Amino acid sequence: MQRRAFLHSLAAVGALGCLPAARALAASPMANSVENAVSVEQLPKLEGDLTLYLGTGEGGLYENVLAAIEKRNPKLNLKIRRGVTSALANTIVAEAKAGVRRADLFWAVDSGAVGQVADAGLARALPANLTGQLMPGFQYPQWAPVTGRIRTLPYYTGRFTADQIPDSIMALPDSNLSVGWAPAYAAFQSFLTAMRLLEGDKATADWLRGVNRRAKTYAGELGVVMGVERGEVDVGLANHYYTLRLKSGKPDAKVDLAFTKNDAGCLVNAGGVVALSQGDLPINFIRYLLSREVQSYLATEAFEIPLVSGVKPPEGLVPLSSVSPPKVDLTQLADLRPTLNLMRSVGVL
């Protein structure tokens, strides 16, 4: 959906986002138990001053969401500070230590950054009628996952079929497949942190050494997927949406997705939002991010996974229920220092 159309549809009564206007649910969004995404028509108007620290990314699609929310709520004075997600998390912690709280909300593209802020004791508790909208496994008391992303193995269909790709990430070094990766990319580092938690430091270091022998490094994970599609490497390590975005513009692209099972290779991570100040305004703003219309827009345009019930997943992605991700508390991905130290010791950073 084009930005102008999305802005217009969010501002209009009964039409926000890229899907047809949804009918209002019978249950109130303020009820004690909410099972489905609610429409913005049911949400309270946003009025007053609000400062949001926004982790940049996703090609401006998050900016479109914010602009649409502002257009629908003309009495909202939204101030946005943009930056790299990890840097903003450090800033929030540093400001708190200095006795200053400038941000009311932090919307991060990585759950590790949210965990860093929560671990510092800066996140306020969220009401159950908000977290209850989220799918089981994504309900956290102090932050709200907004959209999810699956770690995948995009592979070159010009040489391989899905059954020729290992279903264990730990088997990749022994597969003789050439690999595309982006070790400096935040999503890769979160994935590797999950591997450390699940497999231990030694096994992770051995895995890095093994993959590094046949790896081609790219600046980012879109580059990884494009390299796979060109046949430069056999398989890549990337979040699912890069492949879906490429295939949406090039349906005959020679790349498809393979999934591992019960390991870090199919980690379901999430970007999320945390409220840092008191009052109803920050909480009600989060309700907009979890609304049916915003969730549908991000699923359709960003190919991210909606994490509230009743919203269709992105086209071209297998059902989340068919994936076997490991059980990892996403906030445990906050401390990247041991991961970065390990990567440097192995020589991949």
H, E, C per residue of 106-128: EEECCHHHHHHHHHCCCCCCCCH
Write out pLDDT tens, residues 133-166.
Answer: 998 889 999 999 999 999 999 999 999 999 999 9
Annotated binding residues, as ranges?
241-242
Write out pLDDT tens, residues 166-197.
Answer: 999 999 999 999 999 999 888 899 999 999 99
**Are 155 and 67 part of one and the same domain?**
no
- Structure-token match 């692209």, residue found: 253
**Are 63 and 212 part of one and the same domain?**
no
336 — pLDDT class (breaks 50, 70, 90):
confident
**Are 249 and 259 part of one and the same domain?**
yes
Given a contact cutoff of 8 angstroms between Cβ atoms, the answer to whether 41 and 17 are in contact is no
Range of the domain at 113: 3-148+270-320
**Are 179 and 217 part of one and the same domain?**
yes
**Are 124 and 201 part of one and the same domain?**
no
Question: Measured between alpha carbons, how far is 101 from 94 in angstroms, rounded to an integer?
Answer: 10
For the chain, what is the domain count?
2
**Are 164 and 142 part of one and the same domain?**
no
What is the Cβ-side half-sphere exposure of residue 174, based on CA atoms within 13 angstroms? 6
Annotated binding residues for Fe cation, as ranges?
241-242
Model pTM score: 0.84
CATH code for the domain of 72: 3.40.190.10
**Are 111 and 253 part of one and the same domain?**
no
User: Cα-flanking dihedrals φ and ψ of residue 239, to 5°?
Assistant: -65, 150
Write out pLDDT tens, residues 18-63.
Answer: 333 232 222 333 333 335 788 999 999 999 999 999 987 655 788 9
